[in-house]
């Protein structure tokens, strides 16, 4: 019996590592067809050695000679791709019937779209690609017959709670509301004054989830939840005003779907990304994921509260962008990526992240339509340039 080839884009990040953990538990069903990393040569070589992947890629072209030498040192004969086109090339590989899109940021859009265009099973962990051009990705999947399954714990939870005949991008019949849960991040109890001067180390110390630095900062600002709200609107076809965010400190309920008859379905589980990954890999079957099972008696209670948009202005900006539509989500995402990078580098304070995003959004020239990949890129580039000018001009320092 042949096994399914899986390509992992963003293999050295937390999602990529969790995917490999699930795959190694099911060698009778899956094999690794290709791996792609951004810059982490040593971890990529370790993964190539463990999986015997026939092809590996590195997005930073300058690191290709180092990667090739390290592979030779380990006696590995992998084919190597390097540069900005490597992810898209891997996403289109015929040998990879399934693609895990786990590249962080807008840079993952082209490869996510490529996987959708070529009819793969596409496991989407790159929320930025869907925020920027989810309509393009869904349209490509409809044309090619690709199966998209969301990996974010919140969207995967909603996917599990929807009727089995629900189609992505279309409002499911009978659904009244979607409720996205959020842990609240490390600053959920901080005062507005203390938030202004929070450090990158504090922002990345998430109380529940183990994530990369960019996503950790997004969780701390609640922008992560704002991006997920936009993503949920696109994926599930539910109007923005019928999607609600709730703070849920226990991180046991990963999201809920409310139906017109008053029923509310929730997906619960331990806060471990291997659960949605195993679900997506095995769907419609269920696979062991290696996670700790949830003990409700030990958990004891489930608490929910509404977020304070006054303290976490990034969530408010995201809701505004979702309602505006057009190029607003592209502008929001681009400004956020620039601001978060500046914060992590120490050239912007924590409070300045929301300030940069708000300034860029308010100064963008209207809410233009985006009807092609090129128009998305143009809106993205213009917003990045505007955000960089603000950062270099000293806003939020």
Beta bridge partners of 57: 36, 81
The yes-or-no verdict on residue 74 having pLDDT over 90 is yes
Q: Which of 197-201, 205-209, 342-346, 392-396 has the weakest average pLDDT? A: 205-209
Looking at residue 396, its pLDDT comes to: 57
Cα separation, 344 vs 262, in Å, equals 44
Q: What is the pTM of this model?
A: 0.93
Instruction: List the single range of 130-134, 208-212, 354-358 with lowest mean pLDDT.
Output: 208-212
The share of the chain scoring above pLDDT 70, in percent, equals 97
According to the model, what pLDDT value does residue 196 have?
Answer: 84
Considering the chain, tell me which residue range(s) the CATH 3.40.50.720 domain(s) occupy.
4-151
Taking the CB of residue 388, how many other CB atoms lie within 10 A of it?
Answer: 17
Helix (H, G, I), strand (E, B) or coil at 278: helix
pLDDT digits (tens, 9 = 90+) for 355-378: 999 999 998 755 567 889 999 999
Strands 253-259 vs 264-268: parallel, antiparallel or unpaired: antiparallel
> Which numeric CATH code is attached to 4-151?
3.40.50.720
Q: Name the fold adopted by 325-397.
A: Rna Polymerase Sigma Factor; Chain: A (1.10.1740)
Helix (H, G, I), strand (E, B) or coil at 145: coil
pLDDT of residue 365: 56
pLDDT at 276: 98
Q: What is the pLDDT of residue 397?
A: 56
Task: State the pLDDT confidence band at 212, using cuts at 50, 70 and 90.
Answer: confident
pLDDT digits (tens, 9 = 90+) for 228-256: 999 999 999 999 999 999 999 999 999 99
Residue 37 has pLDDT above 60, yes or no: yes
Compute the distance between CA of residue 127 and CA of residue 151 in angstroms, rounded to an integer.
9
DSSP 187-239: TTT--HHHHHT--HHHHT--SS----HHHHHHHHHTHHHHHHHHHHHHHH---
> Can you give the pLDDT at residue 347?
92
Question: Do the beta carbons of residue 225 and residue 307 sit within 8 Å?
Answer: yes
Give the Å distances, CA to CA, from 79 to 102, 183, 235: 21, 41, 35
E strands in 295-354: none
- Cα–Cα distance measured from residue 31 to residue 53, given in angstroms and rounded to the nearest whole number: 8
Do 246 and 182 form a contact (C-beta atoms < 8 A)?
yes
pLDDT at 206: 72
> Which residue carries 């997920």 as its tokens?
228
Alpha helices in the chain (DSSP H): 14-24, 41-51, 64-73, 86-91, 109-117, 127-144, 153-161, 192-196, 200-203, 213-221, 223-236, 274-282, 296-299, 313-324, 328-345, 350-363, 373-392
Give residue 267's pLDDT band: very low, low, confident or very high (50, 70, 90).
very high
The segment(s) of the chain belonging to CATH 1.10.1740.10 are 325-397
């Amino acid at each position: 019996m042949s096994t399914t080839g899986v390509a992992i884009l963003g293999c050295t990040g937390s999602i990529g590592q969790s995917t490999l953990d699930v795959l190694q538990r099911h060698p009778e069903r899956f094999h690794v067809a290709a791996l792609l990393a951004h810059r982490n040569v040593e971890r990529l070589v370790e993964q190539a050695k463990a999986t015997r992947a026939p092809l590996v890629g590195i997005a930073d072209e300058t690191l290709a000679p180092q990667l090739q030498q390290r592979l030779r040192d380990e006696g590995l004969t992998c084919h190597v791709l390097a540069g900005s086109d490597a992810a898209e090339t891997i996403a289109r590989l015929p040998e990879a019937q399934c693609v895990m899109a786990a590249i962080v940021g807008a840079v993952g859009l082209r490869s996510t779209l490529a996987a959708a265009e070529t009819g793969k099973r596409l496991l989407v962990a790159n929320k930025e690609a869907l925020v920027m051009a989810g309509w393009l990705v869904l349209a490509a999947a409809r044309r090619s017959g690709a199966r998209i399954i969301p990996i974010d714990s919140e969207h995967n939870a909603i996917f599990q709670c929807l009727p089995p005949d629900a189609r992505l991008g279309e409002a499911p019949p009978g659904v009244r509301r979607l409720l996205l849960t959020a842990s609240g991040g490390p600053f959920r109890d901080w005062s507005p004054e203390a938030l202004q001067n929070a450090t990158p180390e504090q922002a990345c110390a998430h109380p529940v989830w183990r994530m990369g630095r960019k996503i950790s900062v997004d969780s701390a600002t609640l922008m992560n939840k704002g991006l997920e709200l936009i993503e949920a609107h696109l994926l599930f076809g539910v109007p923005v005003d019928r999607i609600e965010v709730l703070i849920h400190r226990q991180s046991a309920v990963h999201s809920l779907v409310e139906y017109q008859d008053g029923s509310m379905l929730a997906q619960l589980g331990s806060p471990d990304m291997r659960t949605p990954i195993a679900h997506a890999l095995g769907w419609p079957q269920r696979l062991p994921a290696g996670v700790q099972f949830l003990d409700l008696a030990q958990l004891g209670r489930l608490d929910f509260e509404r977020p304070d948009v006054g303290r976490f202005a990034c969530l408010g900006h995201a809701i505004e962008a979702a309602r505006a539509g057009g190029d607003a989500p592209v502008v929001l995402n681009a400004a956020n990526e620039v601001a978060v990078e500046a914060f992590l580098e120490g050239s912007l304070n924590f409070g300045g992240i929301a300030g940069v995003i708000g300034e860029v959004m308010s100064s963008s020239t209207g809410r233009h339509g985006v009807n092609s990949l090129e128009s998305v890129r143009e809106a993205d580039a213009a917003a990045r340039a505007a955000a960089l000018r603000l950062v270099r001009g000293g806003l939020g320092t």
